[in-house]
Structure 1
Amino acid sequence: MRQLMGDILVYCFVVVLLTGGFLAYYYEPGGGTVAYDGSYAPLQGAQMSDAYASVLKIRMDVRGGLLVRQLHHNSSVLLGLGVVAWILFGRFRYGFAALGLGALTGLAGYASADDLLSGTFLAKVPIPVWYGLHLTAAATLGAVLVVSSRREAAQRPRTLGFVALSIGLTALAIYSL
């Protein structure tokens, strides 16, 4: 069960990585203030940060942007919940590292979108710093998951059926959120 959970976490991370790459292509991490000029009419001319305008552009103007953003969010939530379950199955050393990195990655991801931390003391940190922290923590989290998964696989080699089961469960879990 622990190995299955570890593989599901790795596959969730791959989904987060792929969707994050798509979002990063369109995202502009800037802290300057701009007037919104996107397709959402009620916000036309509203002052907002470059980062938030970029997020709105992805959601409203990029084909499939909202779907990819939701998939990225759902996979990230599933990854966080999976890490908690992974800790409960006994992977304490890697689990606590993954939990801390996951929390840091999530906080930095929300902060780089500049929508939830505005008005708090955390908003004083420049958005490009949050974005860099998000990318660094995500890469480190991926390394922790891959190293742990490889060590599990060295003890118990995977079969094709096991890999198919873990991929199927990952897709089902992401779809269910």
Structure 2
Amino acid sequence: MLVYFLVVLLLSGAFLAFHYSPGGGTVVYTGEYEPLRGVEMSGAYASILSLGFDVPGGLFVRRLHFNAIVLLALGTVVWAPLGRLRYAPALLGLGLCLVGALAGFGSADDLLSGTVLGRVPVVLWYGLHLVTALALGVTLVISARREAARDPRTPGFVALTLALSALLLLLPGG
């Protein structure tokens, strides 16, 4: 399931990347969201607002991306003890999930503004976010291949994990 969450995370992240601009400079918001129209903000935050309100399906994809990282982090928390903590990649994956999530919030320039971490340029947060996503992908794919070599998956098991992954990702709220 973790690999499926990672695939959703990467695909939704690719969609978001096409509509995101990691500008750290100040701009005046001119988008669809009326309460913030005319307000000065960072270019990254204006890009996020535009993605959510101006791009069709933008809010849905952002929510899907967020749900995927939360489920991926929770899955790695469960994965480590189930492997009797012999899976160092699970702990590495959890660390990468947490760093990637922090970098994602930093690149959106919404939750970290006004804090010490908010002083880090948005472009560096975005770069860290991309690097951790790639490192997490490599970690999970290598681990999944090793695990599948030891214990091959049946088609029924694969279908069940796909169905559960889809159900968890599409749950409202979260």
Partner of 1:126: 121
Whichever residue aligns with residue 76 of structure 2, its letter is V
Shift of 1:44: 1.1
Measure how far apart 1:165 and its partner are. 1.0
Aligned length: 170
Task: Report the residue type matching 1:105 in the other structure.
Answer: G
Is residue 2:143 matched to residue 1:145? Answer: no
- Mapped to 2, the partners of 1:173 and 1:82 lie a distance apart of 12
Task: Give the TM-score taking structure 2 as reference length.
Answer: 0.95
Structure 1: runs of 5 or more not aligned: 1-7
- The alpha-carbon deviation at position 171 of structure 1 amounts to 0.8
Q: 1:92 Cα shift?
A: 3.2
Gaps of 5+ in 2: none
Structure 2 distance, partners of 1:23, 1:131, is: 12
User: How far apart are residue 144 of structure 1 and its match?
Assistant: 0.4
Letter in 2 for 1:27: Y
Counterpart for residue 35 of structure 2: 42
| Percentage of matched positions with identical amino acids | 56
Pairwise CA distance, 1:124: 1.2
User: 2:93 aligns to what?
Assistant: 98
SS of 1:136's equivalent in the other structure is helix
Query: Partner residue of 1:86?
Result: 79
Pairwise CA RMSD = 0.9
Residue number in structure 2 paired with 1:110? 105
More helix by share: 1
Q: Which has the higher contact order (CA 8 A, sep 6+)?
A: 1
Stretch moving more, 51-60 or 162-171: 162-171
**How do 1:25-36 residues align onto structure 2 when only pairs under 5 Å count?**
25-36=18-29
TM-score (norm 1): 0.93
Deviations 1:137-166 (A, max 9, x none): 010001100000000111122221111111
Aligned equivalent of 1:166: 161
